[in-house]
Structure formats: structure tokens, C-alpha cells
Structure 1
Amino acid sequence: MRILLVLSMVAIWGCDSSPQTTESDNNAVDRPEQPPATGQTQEPRPQQTPSMPSDGDGQQDNRPQATMTDGHWGASTRVGVRTPTVVVEPGRSRRRMNLDQLESAFLRVSNDLNWTERANGVDVSLFQTLSATLGKPDFIQVTTEALDPTALFQKFLDDAARQVCQKMVARDSERNEANPSLLLDRLADTTIDAHLSNLVLRFHNRQLDEDSNDLAQWRWFVDSLRHVAESDEQIWHAVCVALFTHPDFYTY
């Protein structure tokens, strides 16, 4: 019996010695930790809702005011604006001759001297032999002729001019006063401008005045050739090649 009483007292004593939970402790466990009262809140909110300023009393207008100032340009004058008249020059862009026209021009200027080669004892026109290479149509695979002044065309034109001019110089060297030459002439200062003007008229069908800038350029070319050429034949041969290869000859 005494043993039971002792055990009962020990049990009661153990229950009384367990920690007690207060109401403040329960609140600390259930509620999350609050931020400190001092400082800015986590979600700042505007003090008031933004709105447009009213035009009521007490509102100050700080907008700048435009003021009229007197200019120093004088009194204004009203004028009418007109669209300028577009002046259309007559004519069209120049075109390159086709091969038939080019060969005919060579024959006319040189008095029937053509660009040829010897084949089987006969002089054959290279304008016809190289017609396919120079873009003349065969009307089987090609029906339109290429009329662009390409580098290949310029090369063949230079070859034709050199050969024909050499023939003209050789023929003119054998002529006499009764049958004057077409190309060669004495390099006299009093007649050189007139001779150049005649050559430009023959090759390019252009009449140049004595004070023309174009004639002055051809005269400068002849004067430059005097310093490098060994004879008058070389000078006029170079002038002939320049006249043939000039765009005013092979375009119209």
C-alpha cells in the first residue's frame, strides 16, 4: 500500500514539473512574424489618385506665352509659287551602228578601202567573216543583233581602223597635186586647222567652227604627235585611227 502511494506522488510531481504554454507563446507560433513598424512598407501606395489639373480657381498657369516680335526683314510680300517648266531637249540617245552600217561607213570615208584578209587569193571582208563573233544574228539561233559597244567590239574596231588607215596613208603617198590625197597634208600652221575641220566633217559629219573647243582638242592632239612621231605619215595615221574609233563615227 505504501508503495502505491509513493508511485502516485511521483506521477503527480512529474505532471506538475512539465513546461506550461502561455497565451503569448501560442500567438507567437500561430501568427507569422510581422515586419518592424519603422521604415517603408513592402507595398508602397500613392497618397492620392493622379488626375488632370482642373481649371478652377487657385490653379496657376505656368505655360509660356508666345509674343509677337518685329523682324528686320522688312514688310512681307505675298508671291505665287510656280512649277518650273521642264525643258525637253529634242533628240534621243545615240545608238551604235550595226555591222552592215559600220562596213558601209568605212567604205564611204576611205573611198572603197575595207578591212580585209587574204584567203585563197581573194580579199575577204573581215566584217563578214567575224559577223557572228561581233553579234550579227544568223536568224537560226539569234534573231536580234547585239549593239552594245563592248570591249570585243572596240578591239575589232581598232584593228579595222589601223588597217584601213594604213591603206589610206599608202594610197595618199602615191598621189600628186592633180589627184590630191584625202588624209595626208602639210603640217603648216595656217592650213592644219582647216584640214582637221575637213577630216572631222568627212568622218563624223560635223561642221566645226574655227573657235570650236572640239577643233582645239584635235589641234592639241596633232601638236602632241609632233613630239613623238617620226614622219607626217605617222601623225596622220594616228589622227585617222582616232577619228575611226571616236564614238561620233560608229554611233548616230
Structure 2
Amino acid sequence: MRRLLLTALLALATGCTQGSVDVPAKPVPLDAQLDPVPNPHGNTDQIDPLPDPEAQGGSVGRAPRRLTVAQLKESIKIAVGMEWDELESRAASLGRADYALITTENTEPNLVFARFLDDGARKVCIAQAQKDIAQADVTLRTLGRTLPTPMSDLTKLTDAQVNETLVYLSTRFWGAPLSGDELTRYSTFFRKAAARAETLKKRDQALAVVCIAMLTDSRFITY
């Protein structure tokens, strides 16, 4: 009887030992070591490549979005240095929702928006350019901060001074400086505007037209 009981215990012990061998032992965790997490994307060798930027209008990702009315109001104030006082009266035409009949703000870059923005750009840019021309303290200027004091004949500015002004303004309005051929085109545009403004005895208009061009550019009204 004892021999049968001993034989059964040995067989049971052997079976338990064999079962435990089949289960791999877990490695001893190290300090600050996290348990491995499986890749939720599966096989990483089959990741779809990003779309070609040339086929996506030069960008990859979501399409550009137009500023809302609230964003436009603050952006004009920061970039130009003054508010567009007629913006609130035209907010509905610019796309602001009234939450009575319209509950979603329209952020499509349509012709109505472009027309009203053009009117607003002319008003704020001309007003701020006039203030800058008359301001002797460069730290209080917005558009003409890089120009010499006093601001006399702008047609006599050097190429370096013109480029410095345009790079400053483009960075202020768009968050990116002009460069290359576009900087050259803007420089030519500024010199023509300065010559015309000097003929009319209205030097502020040289700054105003550059301000209007940058304020109505798609790089200002989209993000």
C-alpha cells in the first residue's frame, strides 16, 4: 500500500515539473523598466507613405482653415496695431453665427468675406501708416518700426533698408519672412509705391499699400 502511494506521489510530482517547464519564466524587471506594449498598428513594415506634397497643394495634412471673426479681430489688432472698428457691424456678413438661425460659423474664404476684408484692410492700414509716419519714436510704430527717423523720402532707402522692412512686416503678418524671388517682387512693389506716394506728397501710402497686400493675403487669413 505504501509502495502504491509513493508511486502515485512521484508520478504527480513528475507531471507538475513537466508542466512548469513548458511555461517560460518571466525576466526579472529592472528599475524604471516598463512592460513591453504591442504595436497597435500591427506590422510596421507595411506603413502607408505620406501623400506627395506636390499633389496636395504643397502641404501634407489638413486643409488650411480660415480665421473666425473673433480670430480675425485679434489678428488685425496685433498685426496692424489697431482694431477694425467696423468689424462688429459686419460680423454676420463675415460669417459669425447668430445662434438663432445660424449655429455654425462660416469659415469659407468666399467673395463676401474677401470684399469686406479688403475694405477693412484699407481703413486700418491707411490710419496706422499715417500714425507711423508722424511718430518719431520707433518703439511706438507698428508698420515703420525698422525705418529711419525722421521718415523722409522713402525712395531714398537702400536695398538693405527696404528688405529689412519687408522681412519685418511679413514676419509680423504671416509669421514667416519673405525671401528669394518673392522678396524681390515685394521690394520692386514697395519702391513703385514709394515713388508714387512721394509724387502725391503722401508718404504714408507706401507703407499702407504693403500693409493692405499682406493683410489680404491668404497667409494672413488662414492657418
Q: TM-score range by the shorter chain?
A: 0.5 to 0.7
Q: Secondary structure of 1:133's partner?
A: helix
Please tell me whether residue 204 in structure 1 is matched to residue 171 in structure 2: no
Q: 1:168 aligns with which of 109, 128, 149?
A: 128
Q: Secondary structure of 2:92's partner?
A: coil
Q: 1:222 aligns with which of 170, 174, 190?
A: 190
Seen in structure 2, the aligned counterparts of structure 1 residues 133 and 86 have a Cα distance that, compared at 3 Å, is: closer
Alignment-derived partner of residue 212 in structure 2: 241
- How far does residue 174 in structure 1 lie from its aligned partner after superposition? 2.8
Q: TM-score, normalization: structure 1?
A: 0.56
Distance 2:212 2:137 in 1: 25
Calculate percent identity across the aligned residue pairs. Answer: 28
Distance 1:178 1:228 in 2: 24
Seen in structure 2, the aligned counterparts of structure 1 residues 246 and 86 have a Cα distance that, compared at 3 Å, is: closer
Q: TM-score, normalization: structure 2?
A: 0.63
- How far does residue 167 in structure 1 lie from its aligned partner after superposition? 1.9
Q: 2:83 aligns with which of 107, 114, 124?
A: 114
| Structure 1 runs not aligned, ≥5 long | 1-84, 117-125
Q: Does 1 or 2 have the higher relative contact order (CA < 8 Å, sep 6+)?
A: 2
Distance 1:175 1:239 in 2: 18
Alignment-derived partner of residue 67 in structure 1: none
Q: 2:95 aligns with which of 135, 140, 143?
A: 135
Count of equivalent residues = 156
CA contact (8 A) 2:77 2:84 kept: no
Seen in structure 2, the aligned counterparts of structure 1 residues 88 and 181 have a Cα distance that, compared at 3 Å, is: same
